Chains A and B, each alone.
Chain A
Amino acid sequence: MSLDIDQVKHVARLARIELGPGEAEDALAKLNGIFGLVEQMQAVDTSGVEPMSHPQELYQRLRDDVVTETDQRDAFQRVAPATEAGLYLVPRVIE
């Protein structure tokens, strides 16, 4: 399997990455290199092997349902570029 240039541009759009002239072609070559590795791995017979969701065979620890956090809004908002009335302000987004 390999990608074509349109697929690279589509993925870039989904990932909100702007590709300049020549960059899409460059990314295409690199991504297809990765697909080469994937093909090599896919050649291994894994039938009967359950997929791993984590490299360690451990289960997660849980926390009790207790409120432990206090209000740190002022500290957090000190590093935000723009805030107002307790809100973080971001460039206008309407879908």
Chain B
Amino acid sequence: MSQADWEVVIGLEVHAQLTTASKIFSGASIAFGAEPNVQASAVDIALPGVLPVLNRGAVDRAIRFGLATGARIAPRSVFARKNYFYPDLPKGYQISQYELPVVAGGDIAIRVGDGDQAYEKSVRLTRAHLEEDAGKSLHEDFHGMSGIDLNRAGTPLLEIVSEPDMRSSAEAVAYAKALHTLVRWIDICDGNMQEGSFRCDANVSVRRRGEQAFGTRREIKNLNSFRFLQQAIDYEVRWQIELLEDGGSVHQATVLFDPDSGETRMMRSKEDAHDYRYFPDPDLLPLAIDGEWIDRVRASMPELPAELALRLQRTHGLSAYDALTLTSSRELARYYLDTVDAAGGELAKLCANWVMGEFSARLNKAEIGVADAPLAPTRLAGLIRRIADNTISNNIGKKVFDALWNGEAASADAIIAAQGLKQVTDAGAIEALVEGVLAANQKSVDEFRAGKEKALNALVGQVMKASRGKANPSQVNELLRRKLTN
């Protein structure tokens, strides 16, 4: 048997930290990076006699998520206590939702792979529920003791649970990325994975192809990058298949991924699994969400990435891949749309190329976001228009782009004029250059006439060089060929 005889089954649980100002059940701030415990209120540290009061902003965000995924928003949902003992959970229970979550169902469309191999599928969501985060334990040695920081305790989370619909690590990563794009797009989570704002747990099992029943799953906890998600699943799948092929059996367990070794290791087996003893929290009455509230939230929703991607394919004539890339964040999509608005709709494809190409490459290189780009969409549009109307070539365009990016001038036209970059399209001027190059490069001319096609490229290069890049390359090519074959 080999890996091809096995089918992989993956479901993901994602904890998305919500972008509220205050905690889910107290008025303490959730700002990242504060001194330990200065944002831990009496409610967060569970002093006796305190009561939780639910943050309306957290519910708003859960509703936004439900609307964005076509899910059902529960008119009545219930908070429950999930009981376990750990020092960073001072109440002895986490307030979560169990039987009646705020959001149920819905789905997320994903696109897996690129080029001809790419395919689309839909991943169903089981539920999404509101809960509070725990504090942090610091296990550095404090005289044989552990340090506890409760700033994070009570931070609002939306736990988003998928159905076991994914069949490879690539699908799991595509789903996680689509979800990551969506929660940022609808402004409910900042998606910062280093700071733990978006954390994935993967439930992984394998079964022989054709089998109906799922295999026994193991849960990989706390994957905080897409790369680790992929590596952890790939390792886990190989491990489970080898075990089963050797006649062993998988036991339900929770495992951790070690990025250094690239392996998963057991954290706890099912035998020691917590019995969380869920029950409705008597401190919190049920949560009611009426149609009016949902309508209010719906009115504030932006066009969703999947809708926009479809619109870009239909009205801008972009490929599915381009549309997906441009809708990977709301900021990038906005930038692209503004560029097209300024350049003109007929130049959409060229705008897409520049935004995905030179512009994105520059952002990556400078390690900055779209918001910090020193180049306004209107200026990029000015450059694109000059390429489209043949004032400059694509290559010279890159030079102008650099100058604009570095703030050397306020517009593409100003740079083209100041540096004399206007493309030479005057046939007489190009012919003179071509004559000069032919006369000076007899060797290449002879080679071309002897049938060496490549020699033409060398000659084109010489003419372009002589024109300092300003000649129109296709015009040069055509003229050279005509002269050489006559």
Chain A interface (Cβ < 8 Å from any Cβ of B): 14, 16, 53-54, 56, 58-69, 71-73, 76-77, 82, 84-95
* Interface flag for B371 (CB, 8 Å): no
Q: Are A58 and B147 in contact (CB under 8 A)?
A: no
The CA of A16 and the CA of B275, in the complex, are separated in Å by: 13
The CA of A62 and the CA of B268, in the complex, are separated in Å by: 38
Contacts of A71 in B (CB 8 A): 38-39
Known contacts A62-B55, A67-B28; A73/B38 CB under 8 A: yes
Closest 6 CB pairs of A and B: A65-B57, A68-B27, A87-B147, A86-B36, A53-B280, A60-B285
- Nearest neighbor of B47 in chain A, beta-carbon distance: A76
* Interface flag for B318 (CB, 8 Å): no
* Interface flag for B145 (CB, 8 Å): yes
Contacts of B148 in A (CB 8 A): 87-90
Bitwise, B117-129 to A at CB < 8 A (1) or not (0) is 0000000000000
Min distance, Cβ A51 to any Cβ of chain B, angstroms: 8
Q: Are A87 and B138 in contact (CB under 8 A)?
A: yes
Q: Are A62 and B45 in contact (CB under 8 A)?
A: no
Min distance, Cβ A87 to any Cβ of chain B, angstroms: 3
Q: Are A61 and B53 in contact (CB under 8 A)?
A: yes
* Interface flag for B32 (CB, 8 Å): no
The CA of A91 and the CA of B139, in the complex, are separated in Å by: 10
Most chain-A CB neighbours within 10 Å: which of B22, B85, B149, B284? B22
Interface residues in B, total, Cβ within 8 A = 55
The CA of A71 and the CA of B45, in the complex, are separated in Å by: 13
Q: Are B286 and A60 in contact (CB under 8 A)?
A: yes
Chain B interface (Cβ < 8 Å from any Cβ of A): 20-22, 26-29, 35-42, 45, 47, 53-60, 76, 78, 85-87, 100, 137-139, 142-150, 267-268, 274-275, 277, 280, 282, 284-288
Contacts of A77 in B (CB 8 A): 37
Report which of A60, A73, A88 forms a contact with B284, defined as CB distance below 8 A.
A60
Q: Are B37 and A86 in contact (CB under 8 A)?
A: yes
Q: Are B282 and A54 in contact (CB under 8 A)?
A: yes
Min distance, Cβ A47 to any Cβ of chain B, angstroms: 18
Contacts of B41 in A (CB 8 A): 69, 72
List, sorted by A's number, 15 A–B pairs whose CB atoms are closer than 8 Å.
A14-B275, A59-B76, A62-B55, A65-B55, A68-B27, A69-B39, A73-B37, A76-B47, A86-B38, A86-B149, A88-B87, A88-B150, A89-B143, A90-B148, A93-B86
Q: Are B147 and A85 in contact (CB under 8 A)?
A: yes
The CA of A76 and the CA of B58, in the complex, are separated in Å by: 27
The CA of A91 and the CA of B78, in the complex, are separated in Å by: 35
Q: Are B58 and A65 in contact (CB under 8 A)?
A: yes
Min distance, Cβ B20 to any Cβ of chain A, angstroms: 5
Contacts of B284 in A (CB 8 A): 60
Supplied contacts A64-B56, A89-B145, 11 more A-B pairs, CB within 8 Å: A59-B285, A60-B53, A67-B28, A69-B26, A69-B41, A73-B38, A86-B37, A88-B37, A89-B146, A92-B139, A92-B145
Report which of A16, A65, A85, A94 forms a contact with B139, defined as CB distance below 8 A.
A94
Report which of A54, A66, A89, A93 forms a contact with B285, defined as CB distance below 8 A.
A54
Known contacts A65-B56, A76-B42; A92/B21 CB under 8 A: no
Min distance, Cβ A11 to any Cβ of chain B, angstroms: 8
The CA of A95 and the CA of B255, in the complex, are separated in Å by: 12
Contacts of B28 in A (CB 8 A): 67, 69
Known contacts A71-B39, A73-B40, A82-B145; A66/B53 CB under 8 A: no
Q: Are B142 and A87 in contact (CB under 8 A)?
A: yes
The CA of A61 and the CA of B143, in the complex, are separated in Å by: 45
The CA of A76 and the CA of B280, in the complex, are separated in Å by: 29
Contacts of B138 in A (CB 8 A): 87
Min distance, Cβ B185 to any Cβ of chain A, angstroms: 20
Known contacts A53-B100, A60-B286; A67/B27 CB under 8 A: yes
Known contacts A60-B287, A92-B139; A66/B27 CB under 8 A: yes
- Nearest neighbor of A61 in chain B, beta-carbon distance: B53
Q: Are B57 and A90 in contact (CB under 8 A)?
A: no
Contacts of A68 in B (CB 8 A): 22, 27
Report which of A16, A66, A72, A73 forms a contact with B21, defined as CB distance below 8 A.
A66
Contacts of B288 in A (CB 8 A): 59-60
Q: Are B22 and A62 in contact (CB under 8 A)?
A: no
The CA of A77 and the CA of B147, in the complex, are separated in Å by: 13
Report which of A62, A85, A88, A94 forms a contact with B54, defined as CB distance below 8 A.
A62
The CA of A86 and the CA of B39, in the complex, are separated in Å by: 11
Q: Are A92 and B144 in contact (CB under 8 A)?
A: yes
Q: Are B100 and A84 in contact (CB under 8 A)?
A: no
The CA of A54 and the CA of B283, in the complex, are separated in Å by: 9
Q: Are A58 and B29 in contact (CB under 8 A)?
A: no
Q: Are B147 and A89 in contact (CB under 8 A)?
A: yes
Min distance, Cβ B472 to any Cβ of chain A, angstroms: 58
